[in-house]
Structure 1
Amino acid sequence: MVAEESGSPRRLHRGLLVLGTLLITLSAITPASSVFIIAPGVMATAGTGAVASFLAAGVVGIFMAFVYAELSSAFPLTGGEYAIVGRTLGRLPGFMIMILIGFTNLLILAVIALGVGIYLGVVFPGLPAAPVAAVTCLLAAAFAVLDIKFNAVLTGIFLAIEMLALAAVCVLGFGNAHRSVGELLTAPVVAGTGGGLSPASLGVIVTATAVAIFAYNGYGGAVYFGEETENASRNIARAILWALGITVAVELIPVTAVLVGAPDLGELFGAPNMMAHFLDSVGGPTLSTLVSLGIAVAIVNAVLAILLMVARMLFSSGRDQAWPAPMSAGLRALHPRFGTPWVATLVAGAIAAAVCFLDEKLLLVLTGTALVVVYFVLCVAALNGRRTGSTAHGSYRMPLFPLPPLLAMAALAYVGYVSATDPEIGRPSLIVTAVVLVVAAAYYLLWVRRRGGWVMRDGSSDESTSRATTT
């Protein structure tokens, strides 16, 4: 695919401090997009009980952040989750997770990019969503090839714009309060029949928590920059924990502000676009337009940040020789000047751009439940890593072990159950996830293992001398 030149770098450049890694990770989480796209779904289910749902999801997030931090401290590798699972649970589970994550993340890039046209459409009506999303993916790929420190600064600037949009929501909500935060927690209400309100039950709040968990997702993505971060064993764990804490705050507070400041909850819950309705009714159309532009910037920023992560995972898979030799050689190629996985970056951008033209509901079905499986497997990896001692060399040890992984597994099992009862997206998505895992296992057993094994490198030295393990 691409021949590696003798003068090309063999390792990623280690130039990020914890702040740079944190900025990229927060950009990938894109809290503003979660507030404007995912939070309305939580409010539609739980009403003002959405505050309790986001609080409960934050507790689950803490458990998973502990799991991610301990595993990433032991294995701060650019392969991310698959590199961790492969070293704690074995080559076959690791390979299956690699295929699942690669498949899912490439599609998620398109799902997120499709949101750009929606929010730019406020200013430029009639923009075609798919072409705009495809162009966004291609432009993001062009920037992602550049030096990782440059991208950390760029995502940081975009993140600041995103935070301003969320700050505007908070000022509007708390500055025009119609009810107290205590009322939201002690007497939650949900949309009732005929446009009225009725008490929100514990059941709907718990059900909405399953959706809120996804709103916080992405803090574990810091591990993809483990080979580019200084003192990675300590700093990746710190970036993960900081990312989770900041994400919970900057998503929970604006959601609370909207529910506190909405003049009429019945109209809010009945609006086709709750956030746009809130901004129009409280801030006016001009502010609504400005905030919409801020959300468009946030989505573009998320595409860039997630593309940086996906490219590093693909690079790692090429370095580990997961594919036929020419393909692996291309994916592990590093830019001679920037030291970035430029081929893997451009491949990821091109695939994501093409996927933008698929039906959006189909994309949701294809990606919906993969995260639940990955989280669950990581919890098992954390438990097994302690049992075998394979994670003992890490700098971070989670508190209250083994409660965090066990409680997170219980919550994830519930999310899986809720997904299985949804015939529209949840159940088909579980089936798709199972099919991807079966195909990955078959590919590993029938081709990868037979051709001589899967190499797992840690990037600590040149390929010719690196410590490698095979099956």
Structure 2
Amino acid sequence: MALRRGLRAFGTLLIVLSAITPASSVFIIAPGVIRQAGTGAFWSYVLAAVVGVFMAFVYAELSSAYPLTGGEYTIIGRTLGRLPGFMALVLVLVTQLLILAVIALGVGIYLGALLPGLHGPTIAAVTVLVSMALAVLDIKVNAVVTGIFLAVEMLALVVVTWLGLANVTRPFGDLLVSPVAADGSAVSFGMIAIATAVAIFSYNGYGSAVYFGEETHEPRRDIARVILWALVITVASELIPITAALLSATDLGGDVMLEFVAQRGGQTVTTLVSLGIALAIVNAVLAIMLLCARLVFSSARDATWTRGANRALSSVHPRFGTPWVATIAAGVVSAAFCFVPLQFLLVVTGTSLVVLYAALCVAVIAGRRNGSTSRGAYRMPLYPLAPVAGLAALGYVLYANAIDPVFGRPSLYVTAGLLAVAALLYATLIRRGWSIGDVSED
């Protein structure tokens, strides 16, 4: 039974932006970038946006050719072969379910600051399970819910921007030509470049539009548009408030963004913004739950599990037209992961995105050469600039992780281990029965 095409491009865009959750990126990821690069974080986010453009072009062209709910693994499988496709499936499936738990744990952190005594993992697990229940409903209902939450999230970013621009303490030109660290020392290009590796992750998520390709009308045309618009809106909604804060913040150390809001807006504004961030994280959990459910659904449709599990997980709700069993399975697993130490979750998920990005860059080149992407309605400009430049940037990110013995290098080891296990499973158990099935894509 097929998923119901209940989304127009705008509804898909709302869900994708909710999964990216710009407010969470501004308050959770940006402080780390600023601590590393000081006011040079402006350039880090600009350079990350350039990399984002390259990857958005790659995603748009591939998604236009294969607007399938399996996302990256179906694209890689159809352009590079079944083994790379299955390896991508294992990597994406593990990391997406863990990322859902990582994001949910942020709810406990922010609500815990407002209501001391809350048990973070329990709050996170409850958030996942509530989102699971909502995700079973009609996809149009979820688009409306995420759209409302997204409006609140954007309002919080507008407040941050206003506070920054109303209290400017350093000229914009200083951000361009004289970036400084928290201690007042000059920031080198190397520091900016290293921080760019983190900023790239801050924009991530625009490519997730492909997961809703089978539920969006005219997907070959509209999914590419959603991806490109999602990147544009994400860059604007993150770069503008971050720049405003850099122009106004007097202390570039610690939890820069929240401390800046407290200093410029007072306790009441800080409380309201914190609630807005918590709501943004809840919204992100719901949106990512929708993605995970469709990934599990697609994996079952492609006969990844046992016969009985495949039948159940690929079932579609008769009323809502959603993958309801896959949604429940994803929710239960991710809720359990909320009680796993956060550091472990971060190490497992840390570099998987880089590997997937690289595989997609190779896939778009292969697709052009073997003609497997010729059916797409979108062709990126200035080909092959985007995939080649993307691979170069991703190579640097891998290097930055490899020289980091605390987090980056262990994460690379775990990613390599997952890929090795996936290859072994494919060779011994999966190869004969697994296939990326023929699905109607229009």
| Smaller-chain TM-score bracket | over 0.9
- In the alignment, is the contact (CA less than 8 A) between 1:227 and 1:459 conserved in 2? no
Distance apart, 1:366 and its partner CA: 0.8
- Structure 2: distance between partners of 1:21 and 1:181: 36
1:51 paired residue among 42, 47, 53: 42
- Structure 1: distance between partners of 2:113 and 2:350: 27
- In the alignment, is the contact (CA less than 8 A) between 1:61 and 1:213 conserved in 2? yes
- Structure 2: distance between partners of 1:181 and 1:223: 38
Task: Please tell me the residue identity of whatever aligns with 1:453.
Answer: G
TM norm structure 2: 0.99
Per the alignment, residue 354 of structure 2 pairs with 372
- In the alignment, is the contact (CA less than 8 A) between 2:361 and 2:391 conserved in 1? yes
**Structure 1 stretches of 5 or more lacking a match?**
1-9, 462-471
Matched, 1:320 2:302: yes
Per the alignment, residue 278 of structure 2 pairs with 296
- In the alignment, is the contact (CA less than 8 A) between 1:110 and 1:133 conserved in 2? yes
Distance apart, 1:375 and its partner CA: 0.2
The one-character-per-residue Cα deviations of 1:379-426 (angstroms, maximum 9, x if unpaired) are: 000000001111011000000100100000000000000001111111
Matched, 1:20 2:11: yes
- Structure 1: distance between partners of 2:260 and 2:182: 16
- Structure 2: distance between partners of 1:223 and 1:351: 23
- Structure 2: distance between partners of 1:136 and 1:284: 29
2:426 paired residue among 435, 444, 452: 444
Distance apart, 1:44 and its partner CA: 0.5
Per the alignment, residue 33 of structure 1 pairs with 24
Paired-residue identity, %: 63
Q: Secondary structure at the match of 1:85?
A: helix
Per the alignment, residue 430 of structure 1 pairs with 412
Count of residue correspondences: 441
1:101 paired residue among 92, 106, 111: 92
Matched, 1:89 2:72: no
- Structure 1: distance between partners of 2:373 and 2:429: 30
Matched, 1:210 2:200: no
Q: Secondary structure at the match of 2:185?
A: strand
Matched, 1:456 2:439: no
Per the alignment, residue 269 of structure 2 pairs with 287
- In the alignment, is the contact (CA less than 8 A) between 1:27 and 1:302 conserved in 2? yes
**Following superposition of structure 1 onto structure 2, how do residues 32-431 of structure 1 map, counting pairs within 5 Å?**
32-192=23-183, 197-262=184-249, 264=250, 268-271=251-254, 273-431=255-413
- Structure 1: distance between partners of 2:253 and 2:416: 36
Distance apart, 1:152 and its partner CA: 0.3
**Structure 2 stretches of 5 or more lacking a match?**
none
Distance apart, 1:81 and its partner CA: 0.3
- In the alignment, is the contact (CA less than 8 A) between 2:87 and 2:423 conserved in 1? yes
Distance apart, 1:119 and its partner CA: 1.1
- In the alignment, is the contact (CA less than 8 A) between 1:77 and 1:458 conserved in 2? no
- Structure 2: distance between partners of 1:326 and 1:274: 51
Distance apart, 1:21 and its partner CA: 0.4
Task: Please tell me the residue identity of whatever aligns with 2:370.
Answer: T
- In the alignment, is the contact (CA less than 8 A) between 1:73 and 1:396 conserved in 2? yes
Bigger share in helix: 2
